C-alpha cells in the first residue's frame, strides 16, 4: 500500500533527499558572504586501523618504546620516514598529522559503526531509532553553508557486488534522521550536476515539487498537533529542494567549467568497474562538487566490510573480502597486514589526488587546499572487531587551518589515563576551532567517568 507519507519519502529520495536537512533558510546568503569557506572531507574506512601500521619506521629506540607502550609523545614528521602505504603523501608532510591515542568507546564497535563513528554514540543495527544527534559532518556543514549542504558518498556492497543509485547513508542531520548517499559515481554525477547535464529534468522536477506542495498544503488544513507539524516539515522540504534547484541552476556556468569526465565504465551502475576505478570515479565527483561550490563538506565511506575489492594492484586475479582480511585471510600469498597496507595505499592515492587538484585552484592569496581539512579515519577503532580504545587517523590540513597540528605525529595518553582524549573531544575541537563554541560534542566515556577523569571540551594542545 502506498501512503502519502511513503510517496513523499520516495519523492525526497529521487529529488536528492534534501528532506532530511532540518534548516535551509539563509543558506545561500551565507554562502555568498563567505568567499573562502573552510572545507572538510571525512573519509571513512572499514576494518579498523591497526595501531602498529601507523608507527614511523624511523622512530628512535626511545620513541619506539614509547609507542609500543602507548605512552604520550610527539615527533616531527619532517625528521621521519612515513610508513610505505602512506608515502604517496610524502610531498605534503608539512600539512600532515598522524593523530594517535584518541578513543571511540562511546561509538559502535564490531563490524559496522553505522552512524555512530560520526556521531559519538552507540547505534546498532536499528540505525534510525538509535540516531541520537546530528553527526559531526552535518554540524560542520551548518557552519559553512552551500547549496547541497552536505554530500555523502558510499562505496559499499554485498560482498560480491556494489550498491548503486541513491541509498540510505550513515550520516545524520539530526536525531532519528538518517541521511541518504550516492552509492556509485554515475548516480552522484547525474544528481549533483544535473543542472548542466539534464536541465529539462530539473524543470520537470520543480513542477512536480510545486504540485506536491499544493496538494500537501491542502491536506495540512485538516490536521493538528504532531501530524500537522510533520506534514508542514514535508512541505518545507519540498520547497527547500526547489530553492536549491533554482540556486544551483544559477551556478550552471561554474559547474560546467568544473564538470568531471567519468569513464563510460561507470554507466548503468558500473558493474564491470574495478574497485580502484570506482574509487577514482567517486574522487572525481567529490573534487568537482567542492570546486564548483555545490558543497563544502563531503563524507566518503571509501569501503566497508561488504565492499568487494576487485582489481587491486598486485591482486588483480583476486576478489578480496575486507571482512575475511579482518579474520586473517591471506590473498596472493601475502600476509593479511600487507593486503591491508595495499588497500590503504589505494585510499591514500585518492587523498593525494584531492590535494593536487585543490592546490591547482587559486583562492584568495593561495589555493583551495589552504582552506581544506581531510580526515582519514576508521569506523571501527583499532581492528576488525575494535577495540575502540584507540582509532589512529591521518589528517591533512591546508595552510589556513585553525589547528596547531601540521607536521606532527601526536600520541595522546592512552584510554583511561589522565589527559586521555576521546572521539568526542576530537569533534569538539573541530567545532570549537571553526566557530561553534559548544561545550562538548558526543556521549561521554564510561571508563573516564568511573575514574572521574576530565573529558569535556576540545583537545587544547592542538587548538591553534
Among 8-22, 153-167, 436-450, the range scoring the smallest mean pLDDT is 8-22
The pairs formed by 121-129 with CB atoms below 8 angstroms and a separation of 24 or more are 121/442, 121/443, 122/443, 127/168, 127/178, 128/176, 128/178, 129/176
Among 230-234, 277-281, 298-302, 344-348, the range scoring the smallest mean pLDDT is 230-234
64/227: higher pLDDT: 64
pLDDT band at 147 (very low <50, low <70, confident <90, very high): very high
Average pLDDT over residues 90-97: 98
21/393: higher pLDDT: 393
Q: Helix, strand, or coil here: 87?
A: helix
Domain ranges of the chain: 1-33+199-259, 35-193+263-413
**164-193 pLDDT, tens digit each:** 999 989 999 998 888 999 999 999 999 999
Alpha carbon distance 52, 335 (integer Å): 15
Alpha carbon distance 12, 126 (integer Å): 22
The grid coordinates of residue 413 equal 595518553
Inform me whether the pLDDT recorded for 27 exceeds 50. Answer: no
Angle at 237 (CA atoms; ends 234, 240), nearest 5 degrees: 160
Bond before 59 cis per omega within 30 degrees: no
The percentage of residues in the chain with a pLDDT greater than 70, rounded to a whole number, is 84
Q: Classify domain 35-193+263-413 by CATH architecture.
A: 3-Layer(aba) Sandwich (3.40)
pLDDT band at 20 (very low <50, low <70, confident <90, very high): very low
Among 61-75, 81-95, 370-384, the range scoring the smallest mean pLDDT is 370-384
Inform me whether the pLDDT recorded for 98 exceeds 50. Answer: yes
pLDDT at position 32 is 43
Q: Which of 99, 75, 95 has the alpha carbon at shortest distance from 378?
A: 99
pLDDT at position 464 is 77
Among 16-25, 112-121, 274-283, 358-367, the range scoring the smallest mean pLDDT is 16-25
Highest mean pLDDT (candidates 7-16, 47-56, 83-92): 83-92
128/52: higher pLDDT: 52
Alpha carbon distance 274, 346 (integer Å): 12
pLDDT band at 452 (very low <50, low <70, confident <90, very high): very high
The percentage of residues in the chain with a pLDDT greater than 90, rounded to a whole number, is 67
Q: At which residue does the C-alpha cell 564538470 appear?
A: 259
**411-437 pLDDT, tens digit each:** 999 999 999 999 999 999 999 999 999
Inform me whether the pLDDT recorded for 2 exceeds 80. Answer: no
Output the average pLDDT for the chain: 87
- Tell me the β-bridge partners of 153: 182, 300
Strands (E), 139-284: 151-154, 166-174, 177-182
Alpha carbon distance 214, 304 (integer Å): 41
Q: Which of 355, 371, 352 has the alpha carbon at shortest distance from 363?
A: 371
The grid coordinates of residue 77 equal 614528521
Among 69-78, 124-133, 157-166, 380-389, the range scoring the smallest mean pLDDT is 124-133
Inform me whether the pLDDT recorded for 18 exceeds 50. Answer: no
Do the strands 151-154 and 297-301 form a parallel or antiparallel pair, or are they unpaired? parallel
Q: Which residues contact 134 (CB under 8 A, 6 or more apart)?
A: 22, 119, 172, 173, 174, 175, 177
pLDDT at position 5 is 45
228/444: higher pLDDT: 444
> Helices in 146-224 by DSSP H: which ranges?
185-192, 194-197, 199-220
* 0.75 surpassed by pTM: yes
Inform me whether the pLDDT recorded for 249 exceeds 90. Answer: no
Alpha carbon distance 49, 70 (integer Å): 15
pLDDT at position 227 is 65
pLDDT at position 229 is 58
Q: Which of 85, 53, 99, 52 has the alpha carbon at shortest distance from 462?
A: 99
Amino acid at each position: 500500500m502506498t501512503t502519502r507519507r511513503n510517496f513523499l519519502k520516495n519523492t525526497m529520495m529521487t529529488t536528492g533527499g534534501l528532506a532530511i536537512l532540518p534548516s535551509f533558510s539563509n543558506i545561500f546568503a551565507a554562502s555568498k558572504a563567505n568567499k573562502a569557506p573552510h572545507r572538510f572531507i571525512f573519509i571513512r574506512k572499514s576494518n579498523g586501523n591497526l595501531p602498529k601500521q601507523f608507527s614511523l619506521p624511523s622512530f628512535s629506540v626511545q620513541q619506539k618504546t614509547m609507542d609500543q607502550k602507548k605512552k604520550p609523545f610527539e615527533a616531527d614528521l619532517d625528521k621521519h620516514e612515513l610508513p610505505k602505504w602512506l608515502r604517496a603523501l610524502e610531498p605534503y608532510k608539512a600539512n600532515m598529522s598522524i593523530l594517535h591515542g584518541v578513543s571511540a568507546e562511546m561509538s559502535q564497535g564490531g563490524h559496522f559503526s553505522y552512524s555512530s563513528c560520526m556521531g559519538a554514540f552507540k547505534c546498532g543495527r536499528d540505525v534510525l531509532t538509535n540516531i541520537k544527534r546530528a553527526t559531526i559532518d552535518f554540524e560542520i556543514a551548518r557552519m559553512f553553508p552551500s547549496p547541497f549542504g552536505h554530500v555523502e558518498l558510499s562505496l559499499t556492497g554485498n560482498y560480491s557486488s556494489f550498491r548503486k543509485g541513491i541509498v540510505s547513508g550513515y550520516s545524520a542531520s539530526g536525531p532519528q534522521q538518517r541521511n541518504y548517499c550516492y552509492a556509485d559515481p554515475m548516480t552522484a554525477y547525474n544528481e549533483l550536476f544535473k543542472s548542466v547535464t539534464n536541465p529539462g529534468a530539473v524543470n520537470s522536477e520543480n513542477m512536480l515539487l510545486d504540485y506536491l506542495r499544493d496538494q500537501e498544503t491542502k491536506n495540512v488544513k485538516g490536521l493538528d498537533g504532531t501530524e500537522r507539524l510533520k506534514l508542514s516539515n514535508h512541505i518545507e522540504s519540498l520547497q527547500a529542494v526547489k530553492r536549491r534547484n533554482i540556486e544551483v541552476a544559477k551556478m550552471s556556468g561554474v559547474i560546467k567549467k568544473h564538470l568531471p569526465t567519468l569513464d563510460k565504465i561507470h554507466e548503468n551502475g558500473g558493474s564491470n568497474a574495478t574497485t580502484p576505478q570506482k574509487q577514482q570515479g567517486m574522487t572525481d565527483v567529490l573534487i568537482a562538487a567542492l570546486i564548483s561550490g555545490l558543497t563544502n563538506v563531503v563524507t566518503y565511506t571509501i569501503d566497508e566490510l561488504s565492499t568487494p575489492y576487485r582489481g587491486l594492484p598486485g591482486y588483480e586475479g583476486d576478489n578480496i573480502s575486507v571482512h575475511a582480511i579482518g579474520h586473517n585471510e591471506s590473498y596472493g600469498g601475502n600476509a593479511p597486514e600487507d593486503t591491508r597496507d595495499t588497500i590503504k595505499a589505494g585510499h591514500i592515492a585518492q587523498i593525494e589526488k584531492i590535494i593536487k587538484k585543490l592546490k591547482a585552484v587559486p583562492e584568495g592569496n593561495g589555493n583551495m587546499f589552504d582552506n581544506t581539512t581531510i580526515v582519514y579515519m576508521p569506523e571501527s577503532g583499532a581492528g576488525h572487531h575494535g577495540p575502540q580504545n584507540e582509532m589512529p587517523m591521518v589528517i591533512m590540513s591546508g595552510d589556513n587551518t585553525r589547528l596547531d597540528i601540521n607536521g606532527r605525529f601526536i600520541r595522546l595518553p592512552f584510554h583511561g589515563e589522565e589527559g586521555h582524549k576521546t572521539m568526542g573531544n576530537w569533534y569538539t575541537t573541530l567545532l570549537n576551532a571553526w566557530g561553534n563554541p559548544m561545550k562538548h560534542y558526543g556521549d561521554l566515556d564510561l571508563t573516564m567517568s568511573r575514574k572521574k577523569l576530565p573529558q569535556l571540551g576540545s583537545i587544547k594542545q592542538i587548538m591553534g
